[in-house]
Structure 1
Amino acid sequence: MLVVCSGLCAQDKWVSGTVVDNLSRQPIPSATIRVASNGRTVVGASNGGFRLLVADRQDSLAVTATGYLPMILAVPDTGLVMVELSPRKDAMDEVVVTGTLRAVQRSASPVPVEVYSPQFFKKNPTPTLFDALQLVNGVRPQLNCNVCNTGDIHINGMEGPYTMVLIDGMPIVSSLSTVYGLQGIPASLIEKVEVVKGPASSLYGSEAIGGLINVITRNPRKAPVFAADVSTTSWLEHNIDLGLRYSLGKKVHALAGMNYFNFTHRFDKNGDNFTDITLQNRLSVFNKLSWNRQKDRQAALAFRLVGEDRWGGEMQWTREFRGGDSIYGEQIGTRRFELLGNYQLPTTEKLIFSYSYNYHRQRSAYGNTLYNADQSVGFAQITWDKPWSGKHNLLAGAAIRYTYYDDNTPATLDGNGKDNRPDKVAIPGIFLQQETSIHGRHNLLLGARLDHDPRHGFIFTPRFALKLAVSDKDQLRVNAGSGFRVVNLFTEDHAALTGAREVVLVGALEPERSYNLNLNYSRKFSWAGGFLHLDAAAWYTYFTNRIIPDYTTDPNKIIYQNLDGSSVSRGVSIQADASFVNRLKVTLGGNLQDVMINSKDDQGNRVAERQLLTESWSATWTVSYSFGKSGWGLDYTGNVYGPMLLPLLSDLDPRDGRSPVWSLQNIQVNRKFSNGMEWYGGIKNLFDFTPDRGNPFLIARAHDPFDKQVQYDANGTVLATPENPYALTFDPNYVYAPNQGRRLFVGFRYIIGRN
């Protein structure tokens, strides 16, 4: 601890200081400083600074921060102090909630939960959380269209519909808009992101079949007073992120945020006359309230408004061509409202009522096909958290989820094909979870959930988890369980309709199911030069009843049926997080995975095929170095992906059916100042990789996007002609990596953190 001189006060006096890491000498944001005599507490700023009033010169301060050993120190006579906290030997032991719906130390959770802080994502600044997740091992943002740039999140190779996205534990991101839900969340409002790989339907219900991502927003009482982050790139992408903490009286604390993203310049570097990147104009506004209540009972309310206009297409497209068949463009306008909150009942038992609601309005034009849709999702849940006998904890709950969906396609017409019939369904469920401490070192979790879907009846999902503390530094976790996803025919796939099609259901569609076994081993190493956290996992997930829409068998129909077979995702992963006394921090992660679909061919023979757009191996890394007290820092981040199968349109398609090994790498330099100001800048996609390398084209028949010159035979099969030698139709779905090449970026952050 370093003490420097300052003026003294008689009796009551102000104490100011900075909380830093005693290894790296870097500021520790959001530390808690408490006065022993009167309990007065403040939360440190993002630059580690704090200031508070003490009543007695002989008083003491208790300083705590996540991931560090607590410290108690006497109030210095000088009134100015630097507090140097030591990292815990078990650093990375954050409090997590996603795995068990209870706040527990990560090391105590029987369910493996990965935690990522805003500081982690700042190593490669991005305008959306969707893009930021590319640094997470085993998680990959997948673009699905070269024109509109919609996408989804893959976890361990499984496609986006199998990933559930939560905000503060609430299923606020509806199936219609997973990608839009991850865009426009102001970074200044994110406390952390928790990732669980594998089924979690026993707690979260439908859609948590392959894994889930929980975005946890800041507590208004602990957020900086003001935070701003403004950046731009050489591609003229402009991003503004603002956060403001304020109070409404003594009992109500609030946090407001705004994110604005603008990219309106057309680029066509691959020369196909189509925009390389979708143009976007997006505004998101967020506000969160929390109340001070007796006995620290919970009460919070938050809402978010999102408005976005995006389009991509031929370079000469303007709005006058929207919906026409002369100049091709895909224009998507969305308006979104989200509401979520919780309230702990004023009872002796811990009963918490949680709720959320979202409304998503989409008005789209895909060439000359209009796709207009509205979706509302309401969710309510009550949980009872009951510790008993000192070794047991019971969590019981009941939930209901109501979904309303309507669009302008034949999919929401009634049986006669004339009258509109929106999809309305309510799915109630109950769940029970028992967690037991064994000898104070091990934890056993048994859980089950029972949901009732009016279309499918009762759906049962059990769960088992065991954490064995092999030693103080070694932990082994075994998890097994099942997940489910109810039939949802209403997604953006309906934009593929070209005229009226009849929706055909082959048999009674059953919910998609998954069964998972996951082994996780973690080991912590510490030595005089730093510490290392090693995490290894192996998983096996078996899927049944997968539903894939068939648009090709009959051009006048959309045919849905359960897969007559199965799908398997299996693999191993390893991740290492290290910090050294020389101010070097390194994160390395690697995945080996095998995702196969087993089905029958036309002759009834069993065939096994690799899933499209799924890499067999991948790796991610971040390397950061701090140049001591100078405030300068350096970050080198990147990922690399193995080959994946790509969708081809015909046997004559000249594009490569397998992607090459490809990598996106970035470098950043930043400079932090003691007044809360920070400058940063660098290069994204350092080696200028784009997926058009080695391919004659990405978008099939970009010169004839309305297929006006395509010829068909009597069976509807595309004919090879001199004008169309490869027998192709217009197709923008051959995409596996972003089309943006190398670009420079620069940004500015400013944080005011004092209470």
Structure 2
Amino acid sequence: MPIFQIFVAYILCRLSFGKKLIPHQETRRMLFHVILQLCCERYVLTLPTEMKTTDIRIYIKRLVSCGVLLLSAWIGTMNVSARTIAGIVLDETGEALAGANVYWAGTTIGCSTDADGKFSLETTKGTKKLVASYLGYHNDTTEVESSSRLTIVLVSDLFLDEVSITERRMSVLRSRSSAIATETLTGDELVKAACCNLSESFETSASVDVSYSDAATGAKQIRLLGLSGTYIQLLTENTPSIRGLSQSFGLEYIPGSWMESIQISKGTSSVINGYEAIAGQINVEYLKPQKQDPIAVNLYLSSELMTELNVTGGWKVNDKVSTGVLLNVRDMEMAMDRNKDGFADAPKTRHANVLNRWFVQSGGYTGQVLVRALYDQRLGGQLHGKHEDPYTIDLRTRRIDGFMKNGYVFDKDQNRSIGVIAAASYHNQSNKYGERLWNAGQANAYLNAIFQTSFDDSRRDTSDRHEHKLSAGVSVNYDRYDEEYRHIFASPTEVNSRLQNEVTPGVFAEYTYTYKDKLTLLLGLREDYSSRYGWFTTPRMNVRYEPFKCWTLRGSAGLGYRSPNAIADYASYLPSNRGYAVSKRLEQERSLNAGITSTFYIPIGNRELTFSAEYYYIRFFDGVIADLDADVHGIRLVNISETAGAKSYSHSWQAEASMEILRGWTATLAFRYMDVKQTTTDPTAGELVLRDKVLQNKFKGLITTSYQTPLKTWQFDLTAQFNGQGRMPTGFCIPDKSKQYYQAGDAIYHKWYPQLLGQVTKYWRTCSLYAGAENMTDFRQDSPIVGADNPKQDGFDASMVWAPIQGWKVYLGFRWNLEKRDN
């Protein structure tokens, strides 16, 4: 550039007058004149032919002064053109819109909002008009005049045309601004598979594993960072949901058609929601009445002859009040035995689930009341007609739960508010596993009162913005267990009954500091008192640093606690003849979770590649070890603290890349490696040995791809999973003629296996038809039930399941909704 070269010429001229560099004065003068002449000729400047050295000095100084002024102006222009604007996109109710498109009008320069609806974008010279768009909402164009933070509100498009041409947004969103590593599975992600319930919602997720917990009841479990769902805090609308007795089938109690989104937070989460997140936290958001269609129907039928009907609806009562109803009915009356072991592959099921929510918003006040009731029955075991005295499974559950939320914002400028959440549930079950009976009830009550305020000391100087947020409050949780566990022919003196109460009040505070969208620091502290275990402290820290716009670093560390339940936590071993040996008192489980995540946002053409790499470490200071190695026909539940040298820890590494490759075509590739170890007993030597945790996969690979036609008339989804090998317990016998296992030293491992699932969806204006298949590789575990030919012998065990029990499964579904109209 001219200014830069003039500046260089000036430096060379100054050097030419240096006596130390060129001692001869005439030589210095000639060199100076030549450099100046060349510079003037290059830029058509007039230079007098006769000039004294003093004149030349004055001339060049004036020239350089002008150049310096121009250079400063040019640099200033660069700074202005390179400044960044930030903001948030909301709907008319104030809810953040995740995945909204934000771009400069007439250009391809833009970005998508993160899971919190926030965005950050560099300005451009060509235009000041910023466009925000979101499917189902009117576009909004904002004239950007300053660098102050923007709040863009999109209004719902209630009268969509028959065909809308839209840009596709990513269906899995990762928050760029949150200090906690969180990914959100949106409604677009949930419809990529049949997703009949929460347990099937993670089939396209790289972070969460889903598998059967046993081969007789059909119960499923999830894993996060190598730990089972017992160590994941499962919430609905940020209130306790799946815990205690509901752990076995609670994932199936949340239908897929009811969910608006799922948030997955790895590592230590916020102390506001409690102390139980050891591996992480999963929160489910139900459909909101103010956003629901008046009527929506989802009908599903599978090749197993399972039928499911979901009916949802939301209505606006008046300008302040709205209500919604969610209904789910599921039925499967035919038992199948494809592997010919005499046991039903899945139990017969009857399930009914209904929810009603009321939403009130008036000024600064927001209130919600939600009530849900369900009934679930499962009949399985050996098929009748083939055995004189069949082994039967009969599980019946009745549950009612709900919550009430009240919030009031009394200072919008400082975001000062107070909120009170009250939740309660009652769970009753009568379970029969062959000759074992487990009858239990759990009552839970929860209260959480939160005060929040924030302040900004930047004094409207966006170039040096400091934000502070403080949340503090009190909470109390109450659990009452009434359990009876016995043999069907046991005498009254042999009945093992337990009545247990636990009350845990606590106080908490959480501070968040944000600096210029570059740095976010979240510090949390809880102090709780358990009527079972006494006082305990929960410190947690999450930090986010953005050295560049394309690179975000996150780190977390903190403690987590939970109160164990000897039967509910290990109910998957009840459909077996394993004997239970339990320590006299199970201690409170206490662990450290620490992790780091690095995320890159790499621009490729007009699109963006998201690549993340993460590592998490979990170590238990105390907790329960389920020792399956000590006795081939038993399970020992022992405390880490009472076993000298006992250890339990998990290492998890994961890398993931996702991108919209072409318009409408998205893809995700991920790989995770896990090293999960526990100290268990070597029955031969009678010594403790640190070894791989039983039935824990060593790795998981995932490839998902989805294509949506430009007019959104068709959508094609395909997912491939690669599940790693895992160790079987000591004493496990490989089934005859099975090639699914291998020997490694003195241990037996099952081999890795692939799975493939796909779905095709045809869209119309108000309805869609979808068809898909699961387990298209037709991989099935050989003899998933050990000793199935004689369930009364000691070796009978349905808990050694690590792969699909059923082969190919195809399904067909239909969705229809009545469009929402303006009142």
Report TM bin, short chain: 0.7 to 0.9
SS of 2:566 mapped into structure 1: coil
Gaps of 5+ in 1: 1-18, 33-43, 51-59, 97-105, 708-727
Which residue pairs with 1:334 in the alignment? 397
The C-alpha deviation readout for 1:436-479, integer Å capped at 9, x for no partner, is 11344211111111111122211111111111111112111111
Equivalences, count: 657
Residue 685 of structure 1 pairs with residue 775 of structure 2: yes
The amino acid of 1:734's aligned partner reads M
Contact in 2 for aligned 1:619/1:639 (Cα 8 Å): yes
Matched, 1:316 2:406: no
Query: In structure 2, what is the equivalent of residue 580 of structure 1?
Result: 661
SS in 2 for 1:119: helix
User: Which of these two proteins has the greater Rg computed from alpha carbons?
Assistant: 2
1:242 and 1:661 map into 2 onto residues whose CA distance is 39
Alignment of 1:275-294 (within 5 A): 275-294=344-363
Q: Is the 8 A contact 2:216 2:347 kept in 1?
A: yes
1:397 Cα offset (Å): 1.7
CA distance in 2 between counterparts of 1:427 and 1:433 reads 19
Letter in 1 for 2:806: Q
Contact 2:217 2:347 in 1 (8 A): yes
Query: What's the secondary structure of 1:161's corresponding residue?
Result: helix
Q: How does 1:270-419 map to 2 (within 5 A)?
A: 270-295=339-364, 297-316=365-384, 326-345=389-408, 349-390=416-457, 391-409=467-485
The aligned residue for residue 661 of structure 1 is: 752
Aligned to 1:733: 799
Sequence identity, in percent? Answer: 22
Report the alpha carbon displacement of residue 345 of structure 1 after superposing the two structures with TM.
Answer: 4.3
Q: CA deviation at 1:685?
A: 1.5
- Taking the aligned partners of 1:82 and 1:271, their CA distance within structure 2 comes to 50
> Letter of the aligned partner of 1:147 in structure 2?
A
* Structure (1 or 2) with the greater helix fraction: 2
SS at match of 1:737: coil
SS in 2 for 1:147: coil
What TM-score do you get using the length of structure 2 for normalisation? Answer: 0.73
* CA–CA distance in structure 1, aligned partners of residues 166 and 763 of structure 2: 20
TM-superposed CA distance for 1:195, in Å, is 0.6
- State the partner residue of 1:212: 281
Whether 1:744 aligns to 2:821 is no
Checking the alignment, whether the CA contact within 8 Å between 2:580 and 2:634 is kept in structure 1 is yes
SS at match of 2:548: coil
2:686 and 2:382 map into 1 onto residues whose CA distance is: 43
Amino acid at match of 1:110: A
Deviation at 1:546, TM superposition (A): 2.3
The Cα RMSD (Å) is 3.8
Q: Distance in 2 between matches of 1:500 and 1:620?
A: 35
Q: Does the aligned pair in 1 maintain the 2:444–2:479 contact within 8 Å?
A: yes
Which range is displaced more, 174-183 or 208-217?
174-183
1:636, distance to aligned residue in structure 2 (A):
0.8
Does the aligned pair in 2 maintain the 1:353–1:380 contact within 8 Å?
yes
The AA in structure 2 aligned to 1:343 is N
- Distance in structure 2 (CA, Å) of the matches to 1:687 and 1:347: 58
Deviation at 1:392, TM superposition (A): 0.9
Note if contact 1:371-1:408 (Cα within 8 Å) is conserved in structure 2.
Answer: yes
SS at match of 1:173: coil
Per the alignment, residue 102 of structure 1 pairs with none
Match of 1:703 in 2: 789
Question: Is the CA contact 1:161–1:207 (under 8 Å) kept in the aligned structure 2?
Answer: no
Q: Name the structure 1 match of 2:145.
A: none
Deviations 1:218-273 (A, max 9, x none): 32112222221112122212121121011334321111111112222111111111
Q: Which amino acid aligns with 1:585?
A: T
What's the CA shift string for 1:515-539, capped at 9, x where partnerless?
1221111121234352222222111
**Conserved? CA contact 1:62–1:72, under 8 Å:** no
Aligned residue for 2:241?
172
Structure-2 residue corresponding to 1:107: 176
Change (3 A) 1:69 1:634: farther
Q: State how far apart, in whole Å, the 2-side matches of 1:583 and 1:184 are.
A: 33
SS at match of 1:107: coil
- Is residue 2:716 matched to residue 1:634? yes
Q: Cα gap change, 1:447/1:395 in structure 2, threshold over 3 Å: closer, same or farther?
A: same
SS in 2 for 1:292: strand
Contact kept, 8 Å, 2:177 with 2:517, in 1: the verdict is: no
Superimposed CA distance per residue, residues 399-456 of structure 1 (whole angstroms, 9 cap, x where no aligned partner) = 1110011111279xxxx98896511111111111111113442111111111111222
Q: Which amino acid in the other structure matches residue 235 of structure 1?
A: E
Q: Secondary structure of the residue that 2:565 maps to in structure 1?
A: coil
The residue type paired with residue 639 of structure 1 is Q
Structure-to-structure mapping, 1:446-525, within 5 angstroms: 446-491=523-568, 493=570, 496=574, 505-506=583-584, 509-525=586-602
Do the aligned partners of 1:302 and 1:341 also contact (CA within 8 Å) in 2?
yes
Answer yes or no: is the 8 Å Cα contact 1:403–1:426 preserved in 2. yes
- State the shift of 1:732 in Å: 1.1
Does the residue aligned with 2:624 lie in a helix, a strand or coil?
A: coil
Q: Write the mapping of 1:27-46 to structure 2, written as runs, cut at 5 A.
A: none
Contact 2:754/2:779, CA 8 A, preserved across alignment:
yes
Instruction: Note if contact 2:575-2:799 (Cα within 8 Å) is conserved in structure 1.
Output: no
Distance apart, 1:396 and its partner CA: 0.9
Q: Bigger relative contact order, structure 1 or 2, given CA contacts below 8 A and separation 6+?
A: 1
Q: Which residue of 2 aligns with 1:723?
A: none
Give the aligned residue type for 2:704: T
Contact between 2:527 and 2:536, CA under 8 Å: does it hold in 1?
A: yes
Task: Report Cα offsets for 1:559-590 as digits up to 9, x if no partner.
Answer: 64336322111121122221134321112222
Match of residue 719 from structure 1: none
Structure 2 unmatched ranges of 5 or more: 1-99, 118-131, 143-149, 458-466, 488-492, 742-747
Conserved 8 A contact 1:123-1:637: no
Q: 1:81 to 1:371 in 2, by over 3 A?
A: closer
Q: Distance in 2 between matches of 1:498 and 1:622?
A: 36
Cα distance between partner residues in 2 of 1:638 and 1:202: 36
Secondary structure of the 1:133 match is: coil
CA apart distance, 1:488: 2.5
**Partner of 1:613 in structure 2?**
695
Change (3 A) 1:555 1:127: closer
Distance verdict in 2 for CA 1:462–1:497, change over 3 Å: same
Matched-pair contact (CA < 8 Å) for 2:784–2:805:
no
Counterpart of 1:404, as a letter, is: R
Q: For 1:122, which of 191, 210, 232 is the aligned residue?
A: 191
Asked if the contact 2:404/2:421 (under 8 Å) is kept, the reply is yes
Alignment CA distance shift 1:553-1:265 (3 Å): closer
How far apart, in 2, do the equivalents of 1:559 and 1:744 lie?
Answer: 40
Counterpart Cα distance in 2 of 1:265 and 1:284: 21
| 2-structure distance, mates of 1:524, 1:646 | 41
Deviation at 1:555, TM superposition (A): 9.6
Instruction: Name the structure 1 match of 2:64.
Output: none
User: Structure 2: how far apart are the matches of 1:410 and 1:314?
Assistant: 21
> What one-letter code is carried by the residue in structure 2 that aligns with 1:120?
E
SS in 2 for 1:120: helix
Q: Distance in 2 between matches of 1:252 and 1:386?
A: 27
Matches of 2:633 and 2:346, distance apart in 1: 30
Report the counterpart of residue 52 of structure 2 in structure 1. Answer: none
Q: Is the 8 A contact 1:356 1:379 kept in 2?
A: yes
Shift of 1:550: 6.5
Aligned letter for 1:690? R
The CA distance in 2 between the partners of 1:304 and 1:217, in whole Å, is: 12
